[in-house]
Chain A
Amino acid sequence: MAIIEAKGLTYTYPIGARPAFEDVTIKIEKGEFILLTGPSGCGKTTLCRCFNGLIPHFYGGRLEGGITVAGLKVADNPIYELAQHVGMVFQNPENQLFALSVEKDIAFGLENLGVPREEIREKVDWALKTTGIDDLRDRPPYELSGGQQQRVAIASVLAMQPEIIVFDEPTSFLDPLGAKQIFAVIHNLNRDLGITVILVEHRLDLTAKYANRVVIMEKGRVVLDDEPQKALSSEEARLIGVGIPKATRLYEYLRANGISLSKIPLGSEEAYQAIREVLAA
């Protein structure tokens, strides 16, 4: 059974005139890495809030159709129940940290669940190590850089050991190097721990290579759902105007002029290899 299954999902905000997204049908299997993208206002941020129940429970509004996550019907389960299976990392690192030390922040979710102290200690230590921030353990949040704060946010979610983690534009406020580090952490969580990842992003050049599926939304609808190479080299993607990686655009340009590379590259390394092959021949 798919770990996330949505059928005909439509949602309208309480003060919305039109639905934020309509008729979304999507199936996500355990261990997948989904890249969710689309122009501003396409509904991707709203959609990802359905995965852990913020919609409809926190935001209200009208949710039609059905969505099941980790076997639980989202509409019928409270957020604190869903949060144990679906973690969520938001855009602004600053507003995800409440405590006065990193350790305490990571423990927050487990404390809420009433987990015994020794277990909290173990899981906090594990989360710190897995995200590579063991040395930041006692630091207060305002002393940390944006990238460090975001890693603390990820660790705080990881500590609850959810099967799925949703990332909503987690690197918006970070510079390219900081962003790369975060994406590497996310990739490791997916590859080494088998966590199902849903990443909402504009920066496709840094992320497409990690995903096994790209879902593109436009004006509230899912218009493309395919493997990255096919999705990002498609005509639709170009017309919608998502940030197609330059490597893929180079491939397109060459193809339009009669040169076919052996595979569709998503990043500079792949492009380089493919070009080298052709030159050698």
Chain B
Amino acid sequence: MIEVEDVYFTYPNGVEALKGVSLEIQDSEFVAIMGQNGAGKTTLVKHINGLLKPTKGRVSVDDTETTKMSVATLARKVGFVFQNPDHQLFSETVEEEISFGLRNFGFEEKVIKERVDWALNLLDLTEYRGVSPFMLSGGERKRVALASVLAWDPKVVILDEPTIGQDSQQKERLRQFITQLNRQEKTVIIVTHDIEFVAECRPRVVLMAQGKMLAEGEATKILTDPDLVSQASVVLPEIAQIFLKLADLGFPKEVIDVYEAGRLLLERFGEAT
């Protein structure tokens, strides 16, 4: 379980990025931290794997404060996939890249081999085992970075803006993948500003603005509230925009899914005839 207690954080250059954020994330949850660029989303999640330590307040993972652990120790439990895979890739082959984390954490060679095979298979990268990661396409490199983090089987997986530059098929695959991770009882936290992606996945949403947590709760509730959305400087999902305008005709406002929208409309059209 992850506990963030009244955390304040100021960067060395004086920017106050977090102004009193409190949050609790249970095991196996799927949470989306949302907000405008600069709202403090990435700053917040960097506290969870100990890259940043709070200026004030406390962050605990499984009842141990992050200040009492090194980043390497925390990383064993909390995997963090950075936005740009090119900030991580450096090995001669995909295989070596994936074993990097495993080696750092002191796994035995035999186990490393097993885990590498497993991770390659999980992310459809087996054919690229001996290929240099620099030769792969952007989407493939993202998968290698993800594989290299999942390889050591962390309990928590944090994905920082995983949908940037992805086409809709890749996003759909990502969505299914996250569902799979959740089923394996992993806690998944994504930092994103992709409203439509969140509308498809419907995780628990934590909405941030200017270093503070504005609101948190079900995606359907948060993303359809026009006041919250405008305060956070994000946009309403397309479907929600339509239904907001239809509210005066008695339609429910908290609709973000195309199929649900379609069914509701069909019902109404059916009544009319």
Contact = CB atoms under 8 A, between A and B. Distances in A.
Q: Are chains A and B touching in the complex at the 8 Å CB cutoff?
A: yes
Interface of A: 38-41, 91, 145-146, 169, 172-178, 180, 202, 205, 241-247, 249-250, 253-254, 257, 259, 267-269, 271-272, 275-276, 278-279
Contacts of A169: 165
Contacts of A91: 165
A241 B233 CA distance: 29
B258 to A, nearest CB: 5
Contact of A173 (B164, B172, B265): B164
Interface string B211-251: 00000000000000000000001110111011001100100
Contact of A279 (B165, B170, B238, B249): B249
Q: Looking at chain B's contact residues, is the secondary structure mostly helix, strand, loop, or mixed?
A: helix
A205 B246 contact: no
A140 to B, nearest CB: 15
Interface size class of B (residues with CB under 8 A): 35 or more
A145 B164 CA distance: 17
**Listed residue (A178, A245, A275) with the most chain B CB atoms within 10 angstroms of its CB:** A275
B167 A246 contact: no
Given A41-B137, A172-B164, A250 B239 contact: yes
**Listed residue (B38, B168, B235) with the most chain A CB atoms within 10 angstroms of its CB:** B168
Contacts, number: 101
B136 to A, nearest CB: 11
Contacts of A259: 265-266, 269
Contacts of A253: 258-259, 261-262
20 contacts: A40-B138, A41-B137, A145-B37, A169-B165, A172-B165, A175-B234, A241-B167, A241-B172, A246-B258, A250-B258, A253-B259, A253-B262, A254-B266, A257-B262, A259-B266, A268-B239, A268-B241, A272-B242, A275-B265, A276-B246
Contacts of A278: 269
A272 B245 contact: yes
